[in-house]
Chains A and B, each alone.
Chain A
Amino acid sequence: MTILSVDKLAKNYGAIKALKEVSFSVPKGAVFGILGPNGSGKTTLLGIVMSILKASGGTYKLFNEEPTDEHRKKIGTLLETPNFYHYLSAVQNLKITAAIKGRGEEDIERVLQMVNLLQRKNSAFSTYSLGMKQRLAIAAALLGNPDVLVFDEPTNGLDPVGIAEIRTLIKELAQQGKTIIMASHLLDEVEKVCSHVAILKQGNLVASGHVDEIFVHDDIVEISASDMIGLQSAANNLPGLLKISPIDGKLQLFFPMGTANLEQINSHCFSNGIVLNHLQVKRKSLESKFFELTNS
């Protein structure tokens, strides 16, 4: 079953096109990352799906049906910022969430426990730190144990321990078979947590699909020798080589993922009369992959 499908969704703010005919679908059980730099349209997209923004064009479906208010009650959502009544405590705020979602109040203790807020459950929201506010928002999303969760930048404002806790929590939720839609500008976060990804750039969908397909990366081996011209002609004959590019007085050799063999490269060059003074596997950094996908 498809949990969410968006079809040519567009949103204009005056002359600015925040979202340009974006289409993709989220299968059941996926941890679906929506990745993109700030201002790429992630929150706008989720805002339309959550009915707080009006789309300028296109349609979307929830649970394979035309979207209704009842669908949103079945989805736990944290969108952009933790939104709570400042003068009320965590418990009082969650009672309101439960009332709106039509769920019982008996689940409140459990979700506060899950995000480690039980000790401060009776303090006013206004006294919380940024990280605590974020955790309360995650607790609100988890209320009633929904099968679908939408998290927009879930680790915003959290310290490193908090970030690790939330990532572990998301993985646990995914293992329970829940569908999670997560927007993030942190590639590392998406790669660690998500099974699927859609990449947005300035409102355009750049790529979408399984993480392994999108983030497929070549093996890169960096070599150098005192005779760089001889090295280049020797390297050209390497079996399985995809391409060579000179960088900073060294050569970068590209091989299909998992096929680079340092021993073979070294002996190949030596047998061609070249002695290497540098031989190193360079895994392409995720950031450069991200830039490649969202820029050039």
Chain B
Amino acid sequence: MQQLLRTEWLKMKDYAAFKILGILFLAGVLLSNYIGWKSVQSFNDNVSTPGISSVFRPYAFDYTWQSTSWVSGLLLIIPAMLIIILVTNEFSFKTNRQNIIDGWSRAQFINVKIVIAAIFALISTVMVIITALLFGLISGDDFSLDKFENVFYFLLKAFTYNMVGLLFSVLIRRTGFAIGIFFIYLGAENLISQLLNVWSIYLRNTKDIDLGSLGDYLPMNASDGLLSFPDNPLKSMARAAMPSDYTMLVLGFAVAYILLFIWWSRKKIMNSDL
């Protein structure tokens, strides 16, 4: 695997899109959380009511793990797009064929891409940890690892996004189409998820059927649903309407979807003509 990764690195390291999107994402995590931190600070500075500022401090420990993960999660389309570009490049340059001709197995070709998707997710997560620490320490409270599970949810979400990108690339093969359909799918799934969530509330309130937030069981919303911004009023309302805790179920769905995407993209590469 080390040799495969070294080869993938040779493909990436001098690629302008890799450098630009990589820097854009890493800087974006820092910047978007800085904006979040700064706006909360200026909000607290301008509110004279005593007590508020000590209540709403999303970047102080231990909330910083949750806030940073949630805010950074909004940027995960960038590494997913990078995955799509890198993988569809192989199809448009026909280098997927050449890699096999030169002696890689099909399994090696797809496995190393899956590992790359995981590595991108890990690097994103490390960046989130650094950023969360930074703003947590600036905020001046005592270090704490409570709510650190949100960082794990972020990792899951990042891996899901990258795997959806990889799967779409393998199925669609064309860069423009794959990126377009990725965005359309994101939008469509969000819409359907909102509708399902409304229906879930309706079911619970009128029929007394509690299935949790059904929208959270969709592929990208499963890992999305695990992450929320502290004191998000909408989420709090939804949670109030759904007293049962479905976190473990949603977590199960998120992991199951990742496994499904891995299985599906491997199957496609292993069995079809290249």
Would B14 and A88 count as touching, CB distance under 8 A?
yes
Chain B, interface SS category: helix
Query: Closest approach, in angstroms, between the C-beta of B212 and any C-beta of chain A?
Result: 43
Whether a CB of chain B sits under 8 angstroms from the CB of A102 is yes
CB contacts (< 8 Å) of B15 on chain A: these are: 85, 87-88
| Residue-wise interface mask of A (88-103) relative to B, using a CB-CB cutoff of 8 A (1 in contact, 0 not) | 1000100111011110
CB contacts (< 8 Å) of A140 on chain B: these are: 102
Would A52 and B89 count as touching, CB distance under 8 A?
no
Query: Closest approach, in angstroms, between the C-beta of B265 and any C-beta of chain A?
Result: 18
Q: Residue among B6, B97, B99, B104 with the most chain A CB within 10 A?
A: B97
CA distance A219 to B15 in the complex (A): 61
Contacts A54-B273, A99-B6, A100-B7 known; A83 to B98 CB distance under 8 Å? yes
Contacts A83-B93, A85-B11, A99-B3 known; A73 to B103 CB distance under 8 Å? yes
Whether a CB of chain B sits under 8 angstroms from the CB of A6 is no
Would A101 and B14 count as touching, CB distance under 8 A?
no
CB contacts (< 8 Å) of B272 on chain A: these are: 54
Set B10, B94, B108, B274: member contacting A81, Cβ < 8 A: B94
CA distance A77 to B105 in the complex (A): 15
Contacts A54-B271, A84-B93, A100-B7 known; A72 to B103 CB distance under 8 Å? yes
Whether a CB of chain A sits under 8 angstroms from the CB of B16 is yes
CB contacts (< 8 Å) of A87 on chain B: these are: 14-16
Whether a CB of chain B sits under 8 angstroms from the CB of A38 is no
Would A52 and B273 count as touching, CB distance under 8 A?
yes
Query: Closest approach, in angstroms, between the C-beta of B219 and any C-beta of chain A?
Result: 29
Would A96 and B94 count as touching, CB distance under 8 A?
no
Kindly list the 10 A-B residue pairs having the minimum CB-CB distance in the complex, ordered from nearest. Answer: A73-B103, A83-B98, A83-B94, A99-B7, A100-B102, A52-B274, A72-B103, A50-B101, A69-B105, A52-B97
With contacts A52-B273, A86-B93 known, what are 14 further pairs, Cβ within 8 A? Answer: A50-B100, A72-B101, A72-B102, A81-B94, A84-B98, A85-B89, A85-B93, A87-B15, A92-B14, A99-B3, A99-B6, A99-B7, A99-B10, A101-B103
14 contacts between A and B (CB under 8 A): A52-B97, A52-B101, A52-B274, A72-B101, A79-B101, A83-B93, A83-B94, A83-B95, A84-B98, A88-B14, A99-B6, A100-B104, A101-B103, A102-B3
